[in-house]
Structure formats: structure tokens, C-alpha cells
Amino acid sequence: MKGAAQVGIVFLQGEEADKVFDLIDAKGAEADIERLSHWDYGAETTDAAMEGGDVHDSAPVYAGDRQAETGVYAMTYNPQAGHVAHYRRHLIRAEDAIDPPIEAHVPARRSAAARETTPRRSAVGDGGWFEHPGVAAVKQSRGLSL
């Protein structure tokens, strides 16, 4: 989550969603977003969404869904599927972020002289590509290697 998350406020389906679709047809999606915002109880809604896992980086939109936004609220609805979902943007303080920013480690550049004097190591051991490293060590310790 990058500073803000969308918390679920209410999900309606069936007859409840049909009432929403009627209002959208009559007054537009923004009017319905205003009406559904009355379901938002602030911190209580945020806590319930966090506990229920209804927190998203952006409001979920699936095939056939329509989306409308007004202020901090977003609504996703689909008349064919018969559902409406209402979300609120919730700002996350930096100290509360799940994934705090990580500073990338950049290795220091070596000079050309240092690169030339560094011995190159082969990925292939002394015994060849197919020899197990443990076998090579035993052979060397027993004097069996060539």
C-alpha cells in the first residue's frame, strides 16, 4: 500500500442493489455515492475492514463493472451481476505502512586496476561439471585426485 488504501464500507446485492441502480438511473452515480457514504462510521468502519480483509490498494473492478468516484469515496457497481460495492480512501501514515520504503544498497564501484587484479574463479570445480562437490573434497583429502 502506497500511502493510501481503499477500505470497504458496504457491499449490496439483490434487492438492496436494485434500489441503488434505480437511484443511479434517476440521479446519477454521484448521488448514490453520497447516500452510501452514510454507511461510513469512520474508524469503526476502517477497523472492521482491516479485520475482515476488505482493504485494497485500489477499489476492485472486475469485468463488466462500472466505477464512479467522488472525493474520498469510490463505488463499483454492476447491474448485470446485481451488486454494488462502496469504498473510502484511507490515508496510511508512513510509520504505519506495512511495507516501509527500503533504501537500495548500491555496491561501490571498483576501479579498473582492482578488477584486473582480482583473480577470476570458474563456476566449474576441479573435478568437472558433473562431479559432486563433496566427492571432490574427499578425493583431495585422500590424495585420489589427478
Summarize pLDDT for 33-86 with one digit per residue, the tens: 888 888 889 889 888 988 998 888 888 888 899 999 988 999 999 999 999 999
Q: Are residues 66 and 127 in the same domain?
A: no
Burial (CB < 10 A; 0-12, 13-18, 19+), residue 5, is buried
Q: Are residues 84 and 53 in the same domain?
A: yes
- How far apart CA 144 and CA 129 sit, in angstroms, is 18
Q: Are residues 38 and 90 in the same domain?
A: yes
Q: Are residues 61 and 122 in the same domain?
A: no
Model confidence band, residue 1 (pLDDT cutoffs 50, 70, 90): very low
Model confidence band, residue 113 (pLDDT cutoffs 50, 70, 90): low
Instruction: Please report whether residue 146 resides in a domain.
Output: no
Report the number of distinct structural domains present in the chain. 2
- How far apart CA 48 and CA 39 sit, in angstroms, is 13
pLDDT of 94 strictly over 70: no
Q: Are 12 and 22 in contact (CB under 8 A)?
A: no
pLDDT of residue 57: 85
pLDDT of residue 77: 93
pLDDT of residue 10: 92
Instruction: Please report whether residue 121 resides in a domain.
Output: yes
Instruction: Please report whether residue 102 resides in a domain.
Output: no
Instruction: Please report whether residue 106 resides in a domain.
Output: no
pLDDT of residue 25: 92
Domain interval for residue 84: 4-96
Q: Are residues 87 and 16 in the same domain?
A: yes
Residue located via cell numbers 441503488: 20
pLDDT of residue 102: 63
Q: Is the pTM of this model over 0.85?
A: no
Instruction: Please report whether residue 83 resides in a domain.
Output: yes
